[in-house]
Structure formats: structure tokens, C-alpha cells
Structure 1
Amino acid sequence: MLQRYKNILVPIDGSYEAELAFKKAVEVAKRNGKETKLQLVHVVDTRAFQNISSFDTAMVEQVTETARKTMDGYVKEAKEAGLENISYSVEYGAPKVIIAKDLPKELGTDLIMIGATGLNAVERLLIGSVTEYVTRTADCDVLVVRTDLDNKPALSKEQRKGFQRKD
């Protein structure tokens, strides 16, 4: 029997890896039928604001507005690809826990499609990889996307330098 995913979660952080995960998630959702829901999420890591002495709510509002515009572009692209059941949220807190635990439980996620980390070994050791944490602790299936839609290796760091999504 073919596994059908009904609720796919895709974390979006503006990276090239997240872009690959999104594109593959759209294709998986299309193959799994109209009842499949594609839930996109952008997590604003609030810990990044803790060290700013003059914390300004306008800064958070600006980050949120930028995230919403980016997510609107992803929703538009998914609809143009033929999906109907798409939504997104902008969350605040620790990305690892929100993506691996909180949202899947809240949304009934049965598949998380996440981009492979771009961190090097030293960075992973010091701060840890969100992708690594999600694959290790999520209760649902996790697909780590490392290739493009043709299953060709993703661009190298040098090749994707300056990657920016065009909405």
C-alpha cells in the first residue's frame, strides 16, 4: 500500500535549502491528492533579540512583515502549481522545538520536509542544527531534502552565494 501523507509541514527560513524543500513538498502534495494540506512555517528565533540592549518591538514587527511577504509568495507559487490546501504561520520562539514538537502535534503533521543544513561541522557542534534536531526528535516522518527536483545535488555554497528568492 502506498503511503499517503495528508499534512506536510515545511519550515521556511529564506535559505536555498528551504527553497529546495518547498519545491519538493509541492510535488509530494500534488502526488498525494487534493486532501493533502501543505503547512508552511517561518520561525522567528526570539533568542536572537535577547542580546539587543535597546529591544524595539518595531524590529520584531519588521521581521514579521518580511516573513509574511515571503510566505505569501510561497503560497502563490504553490497555488500556481495546482495546490489548493495551503496555509502558513509565523511563529516565535526556539525553531527546533516548534518545528519538531509543537507544530506537528498541533497540526497533526505526518511529514516534515526540511532542507539539509548549511552549517559546517564546527557550527553544528557549537549551536546545533535545526535539521539534525528535527530528524532526531520528531514523532512523524522527516524527509531531509538535499537535491533539486531532478534529484541532482544541490548547488555548492559557492554556487548559491547570494541566493535570494524572487517573489
Structure 2
Amino acid sequence: MTKILVIEDNNLIRETVLELLQSRGFEAVGAENGKVGIELAAEIPDLILSDVMMPELNGFEVFAAVRSHPATASIPFIFMTASEMEKALELKADGYLQKPCSVTEILGAIATQLEKPTVSNPQHQKVQDNSAPSNLSLRASHQKSRFEIASVCSQ
């Protein structure tokens, strides 16, 4: 099962995104701040969704910490931000979501990263898990979801 770490300090947003991901067949784990997020990243999730403005450690600090360790450096990292998009773009993360964001945007960003070939460094290459729902972005655009969170994703 594909494991996604959601690092978000807003409880409502975090819990809504976790519920959305779990309803789509992902193993979803939440962290309420960057410090906890880094600790959970050590469990090597398949993808990280991270807010930028958070207590303890912000998303940029989390990104730097994750990228600095060989075991976690290849984990796809998607920033979710309402106000720091320019700075996030400078860091060359794997993806970016501008808050407020829709379910379709979240699932599309995840699908894009999970469909990419694995990293070329075999020493740190993760085994690809194909148990995630296939054609996720297409399915997401054709389904109405009770998890529409466009208004919830704003800070």
C-alpha cells in the first residue's frame, strides 16, 4: 500500500486530507508540525505533502532535512502553501499545491509523482508499490467527492 505523510499544522485540513487519502486506498499518516514530520519521514513514506508555515520547523526546514539524508532524499515532496509559493518554487521540490486546493488537484499532484520512474541511484532506490489506485487523476476528475476541501485548504 502506498504510504503518504501529510505534514500540516491545521487540524481540520490535516484530518480532511488524511480521510481523503485513506478513502482512495492510501496509507495516510499525519504530523501536526515539521518536527514530528521529520521523525515520521524516517519511516520512508512513498510521498510527503507538507504545509509551509508551521510551528516547530517550517516546511522549508522539513524539505532541507528530508533532502539531506540519503535514506529520505528521493521521497517525492509536494509543498502545500497559501502564501509562500515563490520561495517554495525556488527549492525545486517535486510538486506544489496553491491553497486553497481541490481534491482533484491534490490527487492529481500525488498521481503525477507516483507515476514517475523511480530514482536512478540504486543504493537509495525504493521498491515501487503498485497497489495504489491506478489512473488516479482520471478517476478523481470523474468522481464527485464529499471531501471537496477548496475552502478548507485556505489558512
Scaled by the length of structure 1, what TM-score is found? 0.37
Q: Which has the higher helix share?
A: 1
Compare CA radii of gyration and give the structure with the larger one.
1
Scaled by the length of structure 2, what TM-score is found? 0.39
Structure number with the bigger relative contact order (C-alpha 8 A, sep ≥ 6) is 1
